[in-house]
Structure 1
Amino acid sequence: MKKIISTTFVFLGLLFANLVSAQEISKQQMIAFQSDNVDTFKAAFPKDNYNKCFAIKESSYSLLSLSVKHDKKNILEYLLNNEADLNKECGNQTPLMVAARYGKLDFAKLLLKKGANKNTKNEKGETAKEFAVQYNHPEMTSILK
């Protein structure tokens, strides 16, 4: 019982620390991001923000992960060509894990082609493949073998 309680406190502490370290995204930045227009995006996000974690509701995401989650291919490609960290973990997920979770096969293929590490494990020891299995994306699971 003590192990369960200890594990729960450690997990909650890590989750809280991750959210505290995440930067808030402004409404104007979110509108720029949602446009999927690279020029608008560049005006709203300085280059030193490309590898930061941004708080969105109860989690945090890198801009690369947000691009995957919200199907923003233009911004994703721009970030990939401008030194965004392919394996940046925010909210206990890398961009590849986000692609696996949401079944974004084309995004996953692009991330892998650019060098994303499919063997990266999050704080729980999960890989992108495990996200694909958990969220029932068999085609994704096959490319992550």
Structure 2
Amino acid sequence: MFANLSRLGQLDISYIAHLELETEPQTWSPSFNMYVLKLASCNLRKFPSFLSTQNNLKSLGLSDNFLAGTIPSWVMHNTTSQLWVSGNNLSGPFPEIFRNISSQLTSLDVSDNSFHGPLPEDINLIFPELVYKYANNNCFNGLIPPSFVRLN
């Protein structure tokens, strides 16, 4: 339905009762470049592949879906300000972006998932702009890096 909207920049269809978003075929490349996309509670079972082409995403909300596995590195790389993926079935170690590239995220919510292992000691180098961080209700272990609990 949105495929030919070349000027589409913002879309929020979160928490609409009984809405189920159908993901696109692998070959689809949208004509738009989103900067805000909120798809919370849309019954998503995987990360929509078209997100890999969205290079200007400032805000991405995918909370309360059925996403499983790890967060693709391109999601962490393409989202520049706010990323919300709480309330899914995501797992693995704490999400990182491509090595040697720092993220510009200011807000990250990975709470209520199944992430495990320690938080990276260099988390402040990976996410130097991070102000709001939510990682509760996961299976993290080890010491919490001091930079992760920085009080502002």
TM-score by length of 1: 0.38
More strand by share: 2
More helix by share: 1
TM-score by length of 2: 0.37
